[in-house]
Amino acid sequence: MADMQSLLTEKRVFKPEKEFAKAANWNKKKIAEYRKLGEKNPTRFWAQMAKEHVSWFSPWKKALDWKPPVAKWFVGAKTNVSYNCLDRHIEGENAWRRNKAAIIWEGEPGDSRVITYGQLHREVCQFANVLKSHGVKKSDRVVLYMPMVPEAAIAMLACTRIGATHSIVFGGFSSEALRDRIADAGAKMVVTADGGYRKGQAFGLKAHVDEALKGGRHPVERVLVVKRTGQKVKMKKGRDIWYHEEMLGASTHCPPAKLDAEHPLFILYTSGTTGKPKGILHTTGGYLTHVTTTTRAIFDLKEDDVYWCTADVGWITGHSYVVYGPLSCGATTVMYEGVPVHPGPDRWWELIAKWGVTIFYTAPTAIRTFIRLGDEHPERHDLSSLRLLGTVGEPINPEAWMWYHNVIGKKKCPIVDTWWQTETGGIMISALPGGVNTKPGSATLPFPGIHATVLDEDGQEVKPREGGLLAVRHPWPGMLRGIWGDKKRYRETYWGKWKNTYFPGDGAHRDRQGYFWIMGRIDDVMNISGHRIGTMEVESALVSHPDVAEAAVVGRPDEITGTAIVAFVTPTGKAKAGASFQGALKKHVTNEIGAIARPADIRFTTALPKTRSGKIMRRLLRNIASGEEPTGDTSTLEDFNVIATLKEGDE
């Protein structure tokens, strides 16, 4: 979580450079005009954006149908996401883009591929035909469990072409997590790879799919396997099929399905405050409008830009700003398979120089890692192609912002700090590089048409510089349309706090200029290296171990990852507290969820501090986890000895 004090005292302001501002897609005048319209009539603003940025097969009857908390955008209109990302760039007056690079892909071992719009179109059509030939129909769910290879984007686009709904499961999640998501989504097919490369080694994916499908009680009929590493995999007859074999004979002709604007585009699971991840549902027309408009405006995309967002397609940032946003804008998007520091700590900077990257979008946690590794690594490479930088995923501390500005941007690149969520589909609060002054640590102002504000618990707007809860008052087109299979949870989680107002779960304040300073999650969701993990999720994983009686999980501040996971565990009588049990529990959590959920510390205790009504006192545990004296009221604590024992465990 961001340090409130250092944010409150941050005073520096950076103005857009004259040259940049003059050439920007959205200049000061345009921004002012859009803000005015967006303020007065957000529906009309978004309808104008939908006309300008998206191609439709037939128009809508109504731009917004809002029956809180259910929003429908562009009611009755028909479109297709893959048509917008591909066909429209290679037809008519745009036909010249046929041979423009759509995807520049770099594998971790150093292999690379450049795929043009024409090629991508052909491969997507072919794969859409493969999906069809295996019985995938409109509205069927397809789970993708992939490394960062172009086939991940091809599979996504192929699903959208025929109206199948994809659900990507990040390749770092375990087979257990994969099994739950396959079951919850009711997926008919899984698209995976034998494996991928990470930190110089081939890791397996297909083996995890096999594990997830063990026992046979699942809806999956086919598993399509991309050959990436060549490692040995088992292919189950009648179920498992090689991608490259299927593609050989597949036709390159596949007209895009004319889909309703509200047709389900994808489900993406994300952590919430319970043990069970939520399947966030996004639909077609509104989502596409939101991501296309924001990509063009915030990243100032021009025809000759080389745009690189470092996110994995397994996260929302990979969906919206590696694949759909940039391709819908007809841009060149870079995909990189591996880790930032392999084979050396300068891999990313080498890639920027190699491909002439002009726009670079990454997470504060990565920036902090690079600060620690030393300036000599970026300084060894020619980064002069860069003209715009972005960050996402967590609050950026002003020190990291300044380093990004000085060492990577050489003081000439504007920085857009973008606040948004899996649920919002696209960016909600961000600078517009052609006309908004930036302040290190602030995401600046809401995008036009986004009615964000800061409220107290009762729904009253708080005064400038007063802390409160981030809120959004009017629906926006990229907004989630629900939680897959759980209407009640959707209503309660996001719309239960105030009347007809969206609650994102973040704390924030505004300064006197109305700039937003996001303070981080205020619920039981942790942000580890920009990735969301629920405390309850890790707790359920821990208590599923036979030797664990009870567990409580909290976050503690960490210099690099933002937050680190600390688990307090009460073992059952027979289990021995000690290093080997700690190791076993860390491994258990990795198996249950994935390495991102692995606790940094595990502390054993005979009991957890609880209130008299039996609630675990998390605030107190957070104090202990970060080495602070317990603060606040402990008078309702059930057993004072418990704190004493927990603190002893510190030594």
Residues that bind ligand WTA (CB under 6 A): 270, 315-317, 392-395, 417-422, 443, 504-506, 518, 520-521, 527, 532
The nearest distance, CB 428 to ligand WTA, in angstroms, is 9
DSSP bridge partners of 189: 142, 222
Q: Give the strand order in the sheet containing 506-510.
A: 452-455, 468-472, 506-510, 516-521
User: Residue 388 is encoded by which pair of tokens?
Assistant: 């715009």
The nearest distance, CB 385 to ligand WTA, in angstroms, is 24
Nearer to ligand WTA, 42 or 390 (CB): 390
- E-strand stretches of 541-644: 548-558, 562-571, 601-604
The nearest distance, CB 356 to ligand WTA, in angstroms, is 26
Nearer to ligand WTA, 533 or 575 (CB): 533
User: Residue 140 is encoded by which pair of tokens?
Assistant: 């069927």
The nearest distance, CB 488 to ligand WTA, in angstroms, is 21
Structure-token match 């398979």, residue found: 337
Could you give the CA distance from residue 618 to residue 551 in angstroms, rounded to a whole number? 11
The nearest distance, CB 316 to ligand WTA, in angstroms, is 5
Q: Which residue is nearest to ligand WTA (CB)?
A: 422
The nearest distance, CB 173 to ligand WTA, in angstroms, is 14
**DSSP string for residues in 312-352:** -TTSHHHIIIIIIHHHHTT-EEEEE-S-TTSSSTTHHHHHH
User: Residue 496 is encoded by which pair of tokens?
Assistant: 């239960």
Nearer to ligand WTA, 118 or 172 (CB): 172
The nearest distance, CB 394 to ligand WTA, in angstroms, is 5
Structure-token match 């971790």, residue found: 108
Could you give the CA distance from residue 627 to residue 556 in angstroms, rounded to a whole number? 9
Pairing of strands 516-521, 506-510: antiparallel
Could you give the CA distance from residue 161 to residue 452 in angstroms, rounded to a whole number? 33
Nearer to ligand WTA, 77 or 309 (CB): 309
Nearer to ligand WTA, 154 or 455 (CB): 455
- Check: CB of residue 602 under 8 Å from CB of residue 585: yes
- Check: CB of residue 71 under 8 Å from CB of residue 475: yes
Helix (H) or strand (E) holding 133: helix 117-133
Nearer to ligand WTA, 47 or 363 (CB): 363
Report the alpha-carbon angle 450-11-393, nearest 5.
45
Could you give the CA distance from residue 272 to residue 338 in angstroms, rounded to a whole number? 28
Nearer to ligand WTA, 326 or 520 (CB): 520
- Check: CB of residue 258 under 8 Å from CB of residue 267: no
The nearest distance, CB 317 to ligand WTA, in angstroms, is 5
The nearest distance, CB 519 to ligand WTA, in angstroms, is 8
Nearer to ligand WTA, 272 or 571 (CB): 272
Could you give the CA distance from residue 416 to residue 389 in angstroms, rounded to a whole number? 6
- Check: CB of residue 287 under 8 Å from CB of residue 49: no
CB atoms under 10 Å from CB of 330, counted, come to 20
Nearer to ligand WTA, 330 or 426 (CB): 426
The nearest distance, CB 19 to ligand WTA, in angstroms, is 26
Nearer to ligand WTA, 393 or 446 (CB): 393
